[in-house]
Amino acid sequence: MSERLAIEELLHAEHLPHLWCPGCGIGMVTGAFLRAVLALGLRREETVVVGGIGCSSRAVGYIDVGTVHAIHGRALAFATGIKMARPEFTVVVITGDGDGAAIGGNHLIHACRRNIDLTCILFNNRVYGMTGGQLSPTMEAGRRASTAPYGQTEPAFDLCELARAAGATFVARGIAAEVRALEKMIRQGIEHRGFSFIEALVPCPTEYGRRNPPAGAVDMLLSDKARAVSVSEAAAMSQQELQGKIVTGILHHDSDKSEFQAGYAELVARVQGNRGTLGGN
């Protein structure tokens, strides 16, 4: 079976065309995710994708596995409940920079800390697209937004640094212009037993590009590509040389740290094994 046919089977054709704007990078990364699902041979009944609110989270409406379109910022909390109730499921969270790093930032750091076996793909377009181009916590200082008409003055989050510091055991960053590399990262992230955080930089020509040159979709992809350096390249560069660059690849991978659900299962086994001594009879 060709990949193309199988990809179509993973999509709700009746709900297409999708709602994303021309030139949007979300579809490219969603495609990478679907190819990763195919490559891993995941069963649809035991695969659940949870999205929050925003442009990227709407991907869940097109993907034909178990999908939950949750409330703003809380996709990781929903996913935590699903994974703990059904440990055999593969649970993936699709979120954006507003959903995952602003309103949902607290859940992100705690999911990282727990090292629960979820894969979080954060589509970072550095703007609130769906609500009309407001500033996001990943927007670089000086950029303009509908709520920062004079340029925004806050520093931006480095989300991969945040995830690593908070305890995530698989941390990777990719760009939409290098979608094959992203597909591989997502595949590895899903295979990794622990919390996997994958930041995918995507262009938003409609709400970001219109206020911040370069404006066009292709130029935005090329701009990210020009700034991208691999982890190995970055290792040989000074802090000064890394200014303005986007470090891509697998930034952190630790397979030794205890995974949350497995740890809980051990606790249950221990407590149930000891019922006679702990119990009330």
Q: Residue 80 or 119: which CB sits closer to another protein?
A: 80
Question: How far apart (Å, rounded) are the C-alpha atoms in residues 35 and 187?
Answer: 9
Q: What token pair was written down for 266?
A: 């051990």
**Min separation Cβ 47 and another protein, Å:** 8
- Give me the amino acid identity at 259: E
**Min separation Cβ 222 and another protein, Å:** 35
Q: Residue 195 or 208: which CB sits closer to another protein?
A: 195
Question: Are the CB atoms for 29 and 172 separated by under 8 Å?
Answer: no
Q: Residue 84 or 231: which CB sits closer to another protein?
A: 84
Q: Residue 66 or 96: which CB sits closer to another protein?
A: 66
| Cα-based distances in Å from 219 to 23, 203, 223, 225 | 10, 9, 6, 10
Question: Are the CB atoms for 200 and 175 separated by under 8 Å?
Answer: yes
Q: Residue 23 or 51: which CB sits closer to another protein?
A: 51
At residue 171's C-alpha, the angle toward residues 119 and 209, to 5°, is 90
Q: Residue 69 or 143: which CB sits closer to another protein?
A: 69
**Min separation Cβ 131 and another protein, Å:** 15
**Min separation Cβ 273 and another protein, Å:** 11
Question: How far apart (Å, rounded) are the C-alpha atoms in residues 20 and 96?
Answer: 14
Bridge partners (DSSP) listed for residue 48: 66, 91
The residues near 155 (Cβ < 8 Å, ≥ 6 apart) are 141
Q: Residue 157 or 264: which CB sits closer to another protein?
A: 264
What CA dihedral angle connects 222, 227, 228 and 232, to 10 degrees?
A: 150
The residues near 177 (Cβ < 8 Å, ≥ 6 apart) are 221, 222, 224, 225, 228
**Min separation Cβ 111 and another protein, Å:** 9
Pairing of strands 196-201, 228-230: unpaired
- Applying CB under 8 A, the residues found at the interface with another protein are 12, 15, 44-48, 50, 60-61, 64-71, 74, 77-86, 89, 106-107, 110, 264, 267-268, 271-272, 275, 278-281
**Min separation Cβ 249 and another protein, Å:** 30
**Min separation Cβ 180 and another protein, Å:** 27
